[in-house]
Amino acid sequence: MRMGSSQGAAAVALAALCGAAWAADKAPREPLGLPKIEWPKDNRYSAAKAELGRDLYYDKRLSADETISCATCHSPQFGFTDGAPVSTGIRGQKGGRSAPTVINRAFSLAQFWDGRAVTLEEQAKGPIANPIEMGNTHDAVVATLRRIPGYPPLFATAFGSDQIDIDRVALAIATFERTILSGDSPYDRYKKGDKKALTPEQVRGMSVFFDKAKCDRCHENTNFTLNAYNNIGIGMDKPNPDLGRYVITKDPRDWGVFKVPTLRDIEHTAPYMHDGRLKTLEEVVDYYDKGGIPNQNLDANIKKLNLTEQEKKDLVAFLKALSGEGWQQAQPPAQLPQ
């Protein structure tokens, strides 16, 4: 039976997990190119909490039929997505949207494609009770965890008492998710001064990205997203399109808009767009080059780019230069609490 470990042991485990310098209550160092994580005042980092969150993240017992975990739809095997156009939940049910990556979610201002969850903690609760995803209830999850002898000691180490409730479950999962980072990419090293970090093709692609295509109008800053929402036309040619954030806010300005994702490690998170319709980065570039799908609320920045075939290849090469280090080490625990 696995019981609770000391904070020191948890720190050692997390050091092996993330390949970073950890201390018992010291947050991991951000890889090159990333800003400092602003940990919530009501959910400060601790290694014990992150270790508990990792267990919960990978534990299928949180779902109603014990077949689905957070990692089912957000797996390191697929850049913390599931590699599918739309996700599959309990009893083989299909969702309506592609699973966004967890990578660098620490820098995201809101969660889900439509931004309906303000925090990672709030987001962590959603799939558990979603009838299509994990199909459980928060009360049932808490009851399940209380029945597993290995979990109360871990909650005690992380929170100071062995009380288990859905808020603590969410706090722990969100803490772990904030440690899933990607930085120190060839682009970051190039910006730091290593002019050999990028190939000539990637350097040309960087010029296309920032100068000709002006992709940074939406994919800006160190995480390559403004955390804003845009209508780029995806799905707007359907008879009953997914209206995105408009469903949440009812604001006409939000008709058909979706959150702009990070481009960090974009080559590992295919397929692309909120409905997963584009299989490759080449298809993504072609889509933008054509100016998207016209509709009543198409973003003003979405226009035909008239890129040459070489510029398209260069742009794809540059996007691959945004693949970094850190998240690859966030693998499942050797054994879940029993």
Q: Which residues does the annotation mark as catalytic? A: 133
State the alpha helices, DSSP H only, in the chain.
7-18, 47-58, 70-73, 120-129, 138-147, 151-159, 166-177, 186-192, 200-207, 246-249, 281-289, 309-320
Distant-in-sequence, close-in-space partners of 62: CB < 8 Å, separation ≥ 6 = 56, 68, 69, 70, 128, 134, 136, 141, 144, 169
Counting Cβ atoms within 10 Å, is residue 184 exposed (0-12), middle (13-18) or buried (19+)? middle
Q: What CA–CA distance (Å, rounded) separates 156 from 48? A: 9
Counting Cβ atoms within 10 Å, is residue 6 exposed (0-12), middle (13-18) or buried (19+)? exposed
